[in-house]
Structure 1
Amino acid sequence: MKKAFVIVIIGLLIVFGGIFGFKAFVNSKIAEAMAHMPKPVVTVSAATAEIAHWHPQLRAVASLAAVQGVEVSPQIAGNVTAIRFHSGQYVQAGTPLVQIDDSTQLAQLASDQAQLRLASSNLQRTKELIATKAASQAQLDSAQATYQTDQAAIKDIQATLNKLTISAPFSGYLGIRQVNVGQYLTPGTKIVDLQSWSPLYANFTLPQSDLKNIQAGTPVQIQTDALPGQTFSGKVTALGSAVNSTTRQIEVQATIDNPKNQLRPGLFGELTVVRDTTEKVLVIPVSAISYNTFGDYVYVIHKEKKDGKTQETAVQQVIKPGKQRDGMVEILSGLKQGDTIVTAGQVKLVNGSLVTISHDA
Structure 2
Amino acid sequence: MKAIRSEIVVGLTLLVLGAGACSSQGESSVEKAGAGKPPVAVEVAPAVEADIEESIEVVGSLEPKFAADIKSEFTAVVEEVYVTEWVRVRKGMPLAKLDTREAEAALQAARAGLLQAEVAETRASRELDRAMRLREAGLVTQQSLDEARTALEASQAATAAARAQLQAAETRLAKAVLRAPFDGTVAYRGVNPGDRVENMGGEPLFRIVDNRLLELTVSVPSTALSSLRTGQPLEFSTDAIPGRTFRGKVQFINPSADPVSRSVKVVAHVPNDEETLRGGLFVKGRILTGTRRGVLQVPRLALVDWDPSKGVAAVFVVNGDTAEKRPVWTGSATPHAVEVTQGLQPGERVVTRGAFNLRSGDRVLVSPLPEAAPTP
TM over 0.5: yes
Contact 2:61 2:217 in 1 (8 A): yes
Match of 2:67 among 63, 66, 69: 69
Q: CA RMSD in A?
A: 4.0
Q: 2:335: which partner in 1? A: 326
Contact 1:302 1:313 in 2 (8 A): yes
Instruction: Provide, for residues 233-276 of structure 1, a one-character-per-residue CA deviation record: whole Å limited to 9, x for no partner.
Output: 22222233344555544433222222322233333433422123
- CA distance in structure 1 between the partners assigned to 2:75 and 2:345 by the alignment: 75
Shift of 1:54: 1.2
Shift of 1:77: 1.4
- CA distance in structure 1 between the partners assigned to 2:262 and 2:358 by the alignment: 48
Q: Among the aligned pairs, what percent are the same residue?
A: 25
Code of the residue aligned with 2:88 in structure 1: it is Y
Taking a change above 3 Å as real, the CA distance of residues 351 and 127 of structure 1, as seen in their structure-2 partners, is same
Aligned ranges for residues 229-244 of structure 1 at < 5 Å?
A: 229-244=243-258
Taking a change above 3 Å as real, the CA distance of residues 43 and 212 of structure 1, as seen in their structure-2 partners, is closer
5+ residue gaps, structure 2: 1-10, 133-147, 371-376
Contact 1:232 1:257 in 2 (8 A): no
Q: 1:97: which partner in 2? A: 95
Code of the residue aligned with 1:283 in structure 2: it is Q
Taking a change above 3 Å as real, the CA distance of residues 141 and 28 of structure 1, as seen in their structure-2 partners, is closer
Taking a change above 3 Å as real, the CA distance of residues 208 and 43 of structure 1, as seen in their structure-2 partners, is closer
Code of the residue aligned with 2:83 in structure 1: it is F
SS in 2 for 1:56: strand
Taking a change above 3 Å as real, the CA distance of residues 245 and 39 of structure 1, as seen in their structure-2 partners, is closer
- CA distance in structure 2 between the partners assigned to 1:109 and 1:317 by the alignment: 88
| Alignment pair present for 1:227 and 2:225 | no
Q: 1:353: which partner in 2? A: 362
SS in 1 for 2:164: helix
Contact 1:234 1:257 in 2 (8 A): yes
Contact 1:126 1:139 in 2 (8 A): no
Deviates more, 1:136-145 or 1:333-342: 136-145
Match of 1:152 among 164, 170, 186: 164
5+ residue gaps, structure 1: 1-12, 304-311
Deviates more, 1:167-176 or 1:250-259: 250-259
Aligned ranges for residues 125-274 of structure 1 at < 5 Å?
A: 126=123, 133=130, 144-145=156-157, 147-186=159-198, 187-189=200-202, 190-244=204-258, 247-274=261-288
| Alignment pair present for 1:337 and 2:350 | no
Q: 1:299: which partner in 2? A: 316
- CA distance in structure 1 between the partners assigned to 2:124 and 2:101 by the alignment: 36
Instruction: Provide, for residues 8-30 of structure 1, a one-character-per-residue CA deviation record: whole Å limited to 9, x for no partner.
Output: xxxxx9xxx9xx99xx79x8699
Instruction: Provide, for residues 323-361 of structure 1, a one-character-per-residue CA deviation record: whole Å limited to 9, x for no partner.
Output: 432322233443322111222233454443333322241
Match of 1:56 among 54, 57, 82: 54
| Alignment pair present for 1:110 and 2:127 | no
TM-score of the superposed pair, with normalisation by structure 1: 0.75
TM-score of the superposed pair, with normalisation by structure 2: 0.73
Contact 1:323 1:329 in 2 (8 A): yes
